[in-house]
Amino acid sequence: MNFISTRKKQTVNYVDAVLKGLADDGGLFFPENVPSDNSFLNSFCENSFQENSFEIAKLFFPTIPNEDLREIIESSVSFPAPLSQLTENQYVLELFHGPTLAFKDFGARFMARLMNYINKGESSFNVLVATSGDTGSAVANGFYGIDGINVFLLYPSGKVSEIQEKQLTTYGKNVTSLEIDGTFDDCQKLVKTAFGDNELNDQLNLTSANSINIARLIPQSFYYVEAIKQLGENHYPIIFSVPSGNLGNLTGGLLANKIGFDVYKFIAATNSNSVFTEYINSGVFSPRKSVRTLSNAMDVGNPSNLERIKFMFGDNLELTRKVIFSDTYNDEQTLEAIKEVYNKYNYVIDPHGAVAYNALTDYAEKNNLNNYAGIILETAHPAKFKDIVEDAIGINVELPLSLNECIKKEKRTIKLDKSYDTFKEFLLNSKL
């Protein structure tokens, strides 16, 4: 299986697709031909989460020996994605049972293990990640303790929550946390400048681990299949409601659909950063600066995976709309949803899942759906957004054990100013 750039000027094998991240023509990699008649579809209901994930991964990485691929899957898909039922028609798919309590663990762990497999410990790589929260901790956790791969996390000093900061700064070993005196944009600019700096690249083997890497996208199809499996036999039509920012999670679902799993509709639920909703509804895409919301992991003004979605549908809006519906909700509506889900169903949902709950509920109502299986993707543990959730429903949200451990650890960072020269000098002196 080769991977083609969404701008169609480059086709590479999986090794190059994973190591490069972005194609030379500026496009994103996508599987060249996604096989759609797959025999394991007949038996997926009897398979374990790991077994199905292995079968899916094999479609995209057929040249990796089974034994090795199985090992990658077993160590990355190492926690469950249970379905919790709210009503006769509505379910929550809990994607927060991984080590950093957000769905990004699936992608980050798989990518780290695949990169390690490709590298076989032979050379040393340096992974640079700018983060404003969830991505950084998932990537750090994914690569933690892997020989030959050094991770540098850049985060804006004083601009992440206390819990997030602990999750970013308590690893050690091959993970170095750089506390940048600047904004998230400054961090991102430092990383981008480093990737474009030939002198630096000649001396250091730099790799990006950001969300556009194909190795993060493919595992995000696994849990859609796991959700369909848990529904059992008689629950059609299936609707997935996906809290969306960069649209990587949604694209993972589209991939599951493309390999043969029937889905009636995908709902892309956005917060006030609604450029994708506007695109679906009007055909006009106008990227702009993001605004801050309560569901901050979705605060994206220029969603990178739109390019993949357009590529999948041949840039045909009518075809896209057959599969994807989108709607947008503001912070007030998000808080209302957190309250409603708690009061009606005694379920504590996080702000991201709450946006998806709103979108699903309204969609079903407007379309008079009585018999459907609506699945809300709950992308983060509510305790990651403790203050917001506690304010909304007035109860104490317990931190899970793993977060409790991490909070007790000491923060370790290196403080740098936001100038590129300082950052470059630091990297060159790190003797990697």
Ligand X SMILES: *Cc1c(COP(=O)(O)O)cnc(C)c1O
248 interacts with ligand X by CB under 6 A: yes
Please list every residue from 99 through 128 that binds ligand X, using CB under 6 A.
Answer: 102, 104
Closest to 262 measured CA to CA, from 232, 244, 239: 239
CB 268 within 8 A of CB 239: no
* Minimum gap (Å) between residue 329 Cβ and ligand X: 13
The single residue among 132, 207, 244, 326 that binds ligand X, judged by CB under 6 A, is 244
Please list every residue from 349 through 408 that binds ligand X, using CB under 6 A.
Answer: 352, 379-380
The total number of residues written for the chain in this structure: 432
Q: What are φ and ψ of residue 210, in 5° steps?
A: -80, 180
CA 121 to chain centre: 26
Of 69 and 359, which CB lies nearer to ligand X in the complex structure?
359
Of 150 and 164, which CB lies nearer to ligand X in the complex structure?
164
208 interacts with ligand X by CB under 6 A: no
Secondary structure of the chain in HEC code, one letter for each residue:
CCEEECCCCCEECHHHHHHHCECCCCCEEEECCCCCCCHHHHCHHHCCHHHHHHHHHHHHCCCCCHHHHHHHHHHHCCCCCCEEECCCCEEEEECCCCCCCECHHHHHHHHHHHHHHHHCCCCCEEEEEECCCHHHHHHHHHHCCCCCEEEEEEEECCCCCHHHHHHHHCCECCEEEEEEECCHHHHHHHHHHHHCCHHHHHHCCEEECCCCCHHHHHHHHHHHHHHHHHHCCCCCCEEEEEECCCCHHHHHHHHHHHCCCCCCEEEEEECCCCHHHHHHHHCCCCCCCCCCCCCHHHCCCCCCCHHHHHHHCCCCHHHHHHHEEEEECCHHHHHHHHHHHHHHHCCCCCHHHHHHHHHHHHHHHHCCCCCCEEEEEECECHHHHHHHHHHHHCCCCCCCHHHHHHHHCCCCCEEEECCHHHHHHHHHHCCC
- Of 38-46, 142-150, 247-255, 311-319: span binding ligand X (CB under 6 A): 247-255
Q: Binding marks (x or -) toward ligand X, 312..351, rule CB under 6 A?
A: ----------------------------------------
* Minimum gap (Å) between residue 249 Cβ and ligand X: 4
Of 101 and 225, which CB lies nearer to ligand X in the complex structure?
101
- Of 15-23, 172-180, 197-205, 238-246: span binding ligand X (CB under 6 A): 238-246
Of 94 and 226, which CB lies nearer to ligand X in the complex structure?
94
CB 89 within 8 A of CB 369: yes
* Minimum gap (Å) between residue 38 Cβ and ligand X: 24
Q: What are φ and ψ of residue 94, in 5° steps?
A: -85, 110
Of 265 and 352, which CB lies nearer to ligand X in the complex structure?
352
The single residue among 98, 136, 182, 245 that binds ligand X, judged by CB under 6 A, is 245
- Of 66-74, 76-84, 246-254, 423-431: span binding ligand X (CB under 6 A): 246-254
- Of 39-47, 240-248, 281-289, 332-340: span binding ligand X (CB under 6 A): 240-248
* Minimum gap (Å) between residue 275 Cβ and ligand X: 12
160 interacts with ligand X by CB under 6 A: no
Of 64 and 388, which CB lies nearer to ligand X in the complex structure?
388
Of 111 and 380, which CB lies nearer to ligand X in the complex structure?
380
Q: Binding marks (x or -) toward ligand X, 53..92, rule CB under 6 A?
A: ----------------------------------------
Separation CA 339–CA 334 (nearest Å) = 9
247 interacts with ligand X by CB under 6 A: yes
Please list every residue from 279 through 298 that binds ligand X, using CB under 6 A.
Answer: 297-298
Annotated catalytic residue: which of 104, 166, 189, 386?
A: 104
- 192 part of the active site: no
* Minimum gap (Å) between residue 130 Cβ and ligand X: 14
- Of 86-94, 170-178, 245-253, 424-432: span binding ligand X (CB under 6 A): 245-253
253 interacts with ligand X by CB under 6 A: no
Separation CA 347–CA 104 (nearest Å) = 22
Separation CA 177–CA 406 (nearest Å) = 15
Of 204 and 335, which CB lies nearer to ligand X in the complex structure?
335
Site size for ligand X, by CB under 6 A?
15
The single residue among 137, 176, 177, 249 that binds ligand X, judged by CB under 6 A, is 249
| Interface residues toward ligand X, by CB under 6 A | 102, 104, 134, 243-249, 297-298, 352, 379-380
- Residues annotated catalytic, as ranges: 104
